[in-house]
Amino acid sequence: MNEFRGYIAPILRWWWLILISCVISGVASYFVAIRLPKVFQAGATLVVGSAGTNPNPSAIDFGVGSSLAQYYQRLAESSLVQNRVKSALGGIELLPDYTTSTADNLLEINVTDTSPELAQAVALALANEVINQSPSATSEEAQKRRDFINGQLEQLQVDIQTTDDDIVRLRQELATLESAVEIERVNSEIEAQQQKKTELQATYTELLGSLGESSVNQVRLLQPPSLPTIPVGPNVNLIVAAAALGGALLAVGAAYLIEFLDDTLRANDDIPLLTGGLTVIGHIVDLEKGKDGSLQSVADKPRSPAAEAFRSLRTNLEFAGVERPLRAILVTSAAEEDGKSTVALNLALSLSQSGKRVALIDADLRKPTLHEALGIRNTEGLTDLFRKPLHVSDVLRSWKSDRVLVMTSGELPPNPTELLSSRRMDQIMTALREMVDIVVIDATPFFIADAWVLAAKVDGVVWVSRPGHTRKGALRALLAQARRTGTNLLGVVLNRLNKSNSSYATRYSYLSHYYGEVPKQLEAPVIPEPGDMGGLQPMLRGKQREEGAALSEPAVNGTSHRVEVLPALPPEPPTTERGKVSLDLLYALSYELASQMDLNELMQRILKMTLESVGAASGSMIAIDARGEPIEGVMIYDGRTYSQDANQLKDVVSRGLAGWVIENRRPVVLSNTSEDPRWLNRSWDESNQEPRSAISVPLMADDRVVGVLTLVHPKANHFTRDDLSLLTAIAVGISFNSGAYAN
């Protein structure tokens, strides 16, 4: 499937060009076609041979007539006939277009022209000229001959009739005679009359054959051409359709040519293959803009999909620094305007939200932009530490919080490479490492030597690439340079992905269910009757609620239940022991997903680690196929692991909480399972009526639900938004990184 998408990717990417080309070609051809002159057609039909006039024709007659029709067809197309038709029509220089065709012993001549009168005249002239070239043609001498033969035939008919009368008379006379001599005489006369009749009939047949009316090689006009009144062309619809198709094919060819000539990086490119093993550690969508037109940072919109993308980038960097802690990170790019400064800023903010103290340094001493993004003046920055007796703390300033310290570039120097490679820069880096937990440096693009120098002074380099802008050739060349200089490349960050058409739009749409802002007006879903086996469809009813309040859903069978709406997260979540456990869990999951084990074993491992992380007592994990049918399921209950059979899985998917999550494609927190009709008690669990709480999250991939993860705690009101966030992160990791679910 992915290979097929790669083949049609240029068509999907340039669909607008193909559509515009179709429209322009179709409209232009329409206006041209309606201005074309109308064309009329006149036709004449000739019959060849005597099969049509013979009352008892044989197969030979039809075969000979069909062969002769093909001969006269070629004759009608010859220059001899064309020249004689021109002369017959008054010496016209050019005949209109005409076609000839045969069917058995019929010859059809069709003439097309803008003048219906001329088309009719030419068709009739062609038919007459073909007849004139046949033996059946009439002339003055031929007519005299025919008149003579007709006269002889009439006389022969009289003679034959007279002979018949004589024979009848003699036979009557013979009946009255008794003399043998007389009888012999009359018989002799009868025989003589019969012999005469035979000779007369033979002569009649010969003359009739010479007349030509029964001749095989004859041509006559069966249907003369009529004056056409309805035009046969031009076919406007056909012309427009052909032009639109041609325009589309031309645009498709142009799209593939553009893709072939386009050397820019694409979001769906195989980055590891392209870079020789360098992985993608971040997918950043376009940041939203504020009212003043400036880009909003993760501090302004902490629950936006972009903020979650930077949290994922932060987590990936923490994984990369397990063996060797990353105390200093350089952010660079292969070209200008790839968005490295924006990535560096938001990465620093995301790191600070995890409880770290971060220093953000603008080390682009050629075209600094960090101070503009932050809205601060570029005074007393990095370059001042080289030319003034200042301490590092003198040029650092807090931004947004005391955990983010910013150092602008300062006044631009004439020799930035020498400054950055000096011992003083080493001293600055040492001082920064002692003051903060991590240093994030915004450097020049890597094709400038400044970035090479700084790369040797940090623990790792983050490479920012912008699909559709960064060129593959430049990326490969700079990667080669990075390896020559021994640079520790942590990975590639794909920046400014378009939400509407990127392959990661599904992921960000999925995350927005959980990390979007909590609205002041919430809409609660109405739960239908339990008898509805087709899944629960969300029906909205407006009702004002305060943030953090609980929503009471409509009563089912006289009992109402509550769905807890958790309060909004603070902009900077505190560092807790639970957060560290969550990070450890995500780290462990990354290794499990990368391992080579079957689906059932992988699901058991993931479910067990998740239960231990949130302190749940039991839980289940179900995988479904593209048709929505369950294909695998595991459950942990009372400390034991069970594999669910097909009937159990179908029951849960059709009637249980998992079915509701699949149908509505969103997570749910049940504060009390005994009060919610979506909770399905199993046969071994019916005796347990103690209030419990449950949380269930869908696993999404390619814009469809591929599974459900459900956890249960023996106490009511146990699960919090932290648990929901953690379970969502686990669901995202499973959905988009596990090949078992994707397939």
- Listing DSSP states for 238-297 in one string gives HHHHHHHHHHHHHHHHHHHHHHHH--B--TTS-HHHHHTSPPEEEEEEPPPB-TTSPBP-
| Cα distance between the two ends of the chain | 10
C-alpha 479/C-alpha 481 separation (Å) is 5
Contact 504, 333 (CB under 8 A): no
pLDDT value of residue 268 = 62
Indicate if the pLDDT at residue 217 is higher than 80. no
> By the 8 A CB rule, do 227 and 117 touch?
yes
For residue 573, pLDDT over 90 is answered with no
Q: Which of 235-244, 402-411, 427-436, 511-520 has the lowest mean pLDDT?
A: 511-520
Looking at residue 39, what is its pLDDT? 93
Q: What is the pLDDT of residue 523?
A: 34
pTM more than 0.85: no
Tell me, what's the pLDDT at 14?
86
Percent of the chain with pLDDT over 70: 77
Name, of 307-321, 371-385, 523-537, 708-722, the range with top average pLDDT. 371-385
pLDDT at residue 343 tops 70:
yes
Mean of the pLDDT values across residues 429-453?
Answer: 92
3-state percent breakdown (helix, strand, coil) of the chain, nearest 5: 45, 20, 35
Closest C-alpha to 130, from 102, 110, 105, 109: 109
Alpha carbon distance 199, 208 (integer Å): 14
Q: Mean pLDDT check: name the lowest of 163-177, 327-341, 672-686.
A: 672-686
Report in angstroms the alpha-carbon separations of 455 from 85, 209, 269, 300: 91, 112, 26, 30
C-alpha neighbours within 13 Å on the C-beta side of residue 108: 9
How far apart are alpha carbons 660 and 654 in whole angstroms?
A: 8
List pLDDT tens digits, range 245-287: 999 999 999 988 887 877 777 766 667 777 777 788 888 887 7
pLDDT of residue 386: 93
209 against 404, higher pLDDT? 404
Q: What is the mean pLDDT of residues 582-599?
A: 54
Is pLDDT at 575 greater than 50 in this prediction? no
How much is the average pLDDT of 674-688? 70
Take residue 114 and report the two structure tokens written for it.
Answer: 């803008």
Q: What is the pLDDT of residue 550?
A: 34
Better-scored residue on pLDDT, 399 or 140: 399
Q: Which two tokens stand for residue 145?
A: 């001959």
pLDDT of 530 above 80:
no
Name the pLDDT band for 536 (thresholds 50, 70, 90). Answer: very low
d(CA 65, CA 48): 6
Q: pLDDT at residue 531 above 60?
A: no
DSSP secondary structure of 51-64: TTT-SS--HHHHHH
Residue 191 contacts residue 199 (beta carbons within 8 Å): no
Q: How confident is the model at residue 535 (pLDDT cuts 50, 70, 90)?
A: very low
Nearest Cα residue to 268 out of 7, 590, 626: 7
Residue 741: its pLDDT value, please?
A: 40
Higher pLDDT, 44 or 582: 44
pLDDT confidence of residue 674:
81
Of 457-466, 569-578, 672-681, the poorest mean pLDDT is in 569-578
- As a whole number of angstroms, the distance between CA 607 and CA 727 comes to 11
Compute, in degrees rounded to 10, the torsion defined by CA atoms 660, 662, 664, 666: 100
Query: With pLDDT > 90 as the criterion, what percentage of the chain qualifies?
Result: 27
What pLDDT shows up at residue 311?
87
**Res 53: pLDDT:** 64
pLDDT score of 270: 64
**Gap between the Cα atoms of 617 and 246, Å rounded:** 65
* Nearest alpha carbon to residue 603 among 569, 644, 562: 644
| Residues 558, 560, 564: CA angle, nearest 5 degrees | 170
> Residue 500 above 60 pLDDT?
no
Mean pLDDT for 316-340 is 85
Greater confidence, 354 or 506? Answer: 354
φ, ψ for residue 126, nearest 5 deg: -65, -45
Give pLDDT, residue 689. 65
Cβ pair 297, 349 in contact under 8 A = yes
> How far is 493 from 339, CA to CA, in rounded Å?
10
Element (H, E) at 728: helix 721-737
Lowest-pLDDT range, 25-39, 108-122, 617-631? 617-631
Reading the block at residue 461, the tokens are 């380099």
pLDDT at 694 over 80: yes
Average of pLDDT values for 499-504? 49
Q: Output the pLDDT for position 580.
A: 44
What phi, psi does 717 have (nearest 5°)?
A: 55, 40
Alpha helices in 175-235 (DSSP H): 180-211
181's CB contacts (< 8 A; 6+ apart) are none
Strands of 584-685 (E only): list them.
618-624, 630-637, 640-643, 668-670
- What mean pLDDT value characterizes the chain? 78
CA–CA dist 518, 524 (Å, integer) = 13
pLDDT of residue 315: 85
**pLDDT value for 513:** 45
Closest residue by Cα to residue 694 from 675, 722, 716: 716
547 against 436, higher pLDDT? 436
Q: Are 26 and 247 in contact (CB under 8 A)?
A: yes
- CA 103 from chain center: how many Å? 48
Q: Compute the average pLDDT of residues 61-85.
A: 88
Mean pLDDT of 597-626: 81
Q: In 445-484, which positions are buried (b, 16+ CB within 10 angstroms) versus exposed (e)? A: bbbbbbbbbbbebbbbbbbbbbbebbebebbeebbebbee
Per DSSP, the three-state class of 638 is coil
Strand pairing partners for 668?
696
SS3 68: helix
187 or 701: which leads in pLDDT:
187
83-114, pLDDT tens digit by residue?
A: 999 998 988 889 999 999 998 889 999 999 99
- What pLDDT is recorded for position 216? 66
